[in-house]
Amino acid sequence: MTPLLGLNQTIYLDHNATTPLCPAVKSKMDEYALLPLNPSSIHSNGRAAKSIIENARKLIAKLMGFESNFRNYQVTFTSGATEANNIILANYRDGEIFISATEHLSIWAHSKVASNFTVIQVDKDGVLDLEDLQQKLASSTKQKKLVSVMLANNETGVISFLQEIAKISHEHDAQIHSDCAQATGKIPVDMIVMDLDFASISGHKFGGPVGSGALVSKTSFHLQPIFIGGGQERSLRSGTENVPAIAGLGEAALIAFDELDKRNDKMKKLRDKLESKLLNKFPDIIIAGINTERLPNTSLIINPKVTAQIMLIALDLKGVAVSSGSACSSGKVGKSHVLSAMGCSDDEIKSAIRVSLGYTTSDKDINDFLEIYSELNR
């Protein structure tokens, strides 16, 4: 067997890209992987598949805070947050869509090809400008309006004040959607408290399988599908459901719910240690968004003395996996629209690397990274 590439990397610090599959999740998926399970079938195998899927919906509801109001929300299983984001955006093509200047590319890229997008500015810490949001909503002449703001930024980890954003949105008769992919499983996500109408998640960001995700929506909104088929998922997402992946997503949600406080505390302690030691040793370093609330696992390190491309290669050769804050889908280092919106200079943007921890990250991983990073920056 040909060995897999990348196995020389002993320090994995790129959990915002993807996090390892939780062993208990793999075990759950293995229970069903070899079985013929089509939830649309009426025989016992089909009924069993349907039961597995419905149980996973309830576990998503538990993780996202609407278990007690389950009937008021619809959980539609998708291939991930990107697909979920596209479904909700497609439903507002005939309206106006307001997005933050730091949205994930699965939302941000739409603003470059569609004319019904309005971008809301952020401050130097990456926090949404609520006054700009209010003014632009008030100026809108569209009857149908959507505000889409991610709960936590994938590059900086900066957390949005969604409760306030939702209040302003609803005051202007706009619905609110949040891409919660980076936040789910790392911090509490409560759709009721935040008063979200729609939310997107991806399983592989919190220990679930790649290719699993969901769109959560209030049942009071009737959404249209982006492709037509056999009518699965209440006709919103046709196609035979991937039962093992959905079971894995549900199991990952249950584990994340049970371990949330422990995971959060562990990652925050490790992140704070990483940042304090870096800032003490390299006073010219900037941590993006350090002055506002962030995910407990994310550090976007700006060191204008060395470009991200050089640093990524050097760290990779030492067995350390991190990413550029501006890594694009092709794997090349591009200019980050997130850091541009935050007012960073070109040199700062070109130097940014993202270190993102996970629930499997150890104290030794941090110590080894600090030693290697210091060696490379002498």
pLDDT level of residue 230 (50, 70, 90 thresholds) = very high
Print burial letters for 245-267: b (CB count within 10 Å at least 16), e (below 16).
Answer: bbbbbbbbbbbbbebbeebbebb
pLDDT level of residue 335 (50, 70, 90 thresholds) = confident
The C-alpha atoms of residue 186 and residue 202 are separated, in whole angstroms, by 13
Look at the block and give the residue holding tokens 């040909």: 2
Q: Percentage of residues in the chain with pLDDT exceeding 90? A: 94
In the annotation, is 328 catalytic? yes
Using one digit for the tens of pLDDT, what is the confidence trace for 161-199? Answer: 999 999 999 999 999 999 999 999 999 999 999 999 999
Cβ-based neighbour number of residue 29 at 10 Å: 23
Extract long-range pairs of 50-58: CB within 8 Å, 24+ residues apart. Answer: 52/243, 52/246, 52/247, 52/250, 53/77, 53/241, 53/243, 53/246, 53/247, 55/250, 56/246, 56/247, 56/249, 56/250, 56/253, 57/250, 58/250
Which is catalytic among the residues 22, 180, 328, 344? 328
Question: What does the pLDDT average to over 294-323?
Answer: 96
Model confidence, pTM: 0.94
The C-alpha atoms of residue 91 and residue 61 are separated, in whole angstroms, by 23
Checking if the pLDDT of 334 tops 70, the result is: no
**Per-residue confidence (pLDDT) for residue 378, from 0 to 100:** 85
Checking if the pLDDT of 3 tops 50, the result is: no
**Per-residue confidence (pLDDT) for residue 325, from 0 to 100:** 66
pLDDT level of residue 5 (50, 70, 90 thresholds) = low
Going from the C-alpha of 337 to that of each of 164, 179, 345, 356, the distances in angstroms are 24, 17, 12, 19
The C-alpha atoms of residue 289 and residue 343 are separated, in whole angstroms, by 12
Look at the block and give the residue holding tokens 């959990």: 15
For residue 74, what is the DSSP state? Answer: E
Checking if the pLDDT of 232 tops 50, the result is: yes
Q: With CA atoms as reference, report the closest residue to 16 among 294, 323, 342.
A: 323
Q: Which domains does the chain have, with CATH numbers?
A: 11-19+260-376 (3.90.1150.10), 23-256 (3.40.640.10)
Question: What does the pLDDT average to over 236-254?
Answer: 97
Going from the C-alpha of 197 to that of each of 56, 88, 192, the distances in angstroms are 20, 10, 9
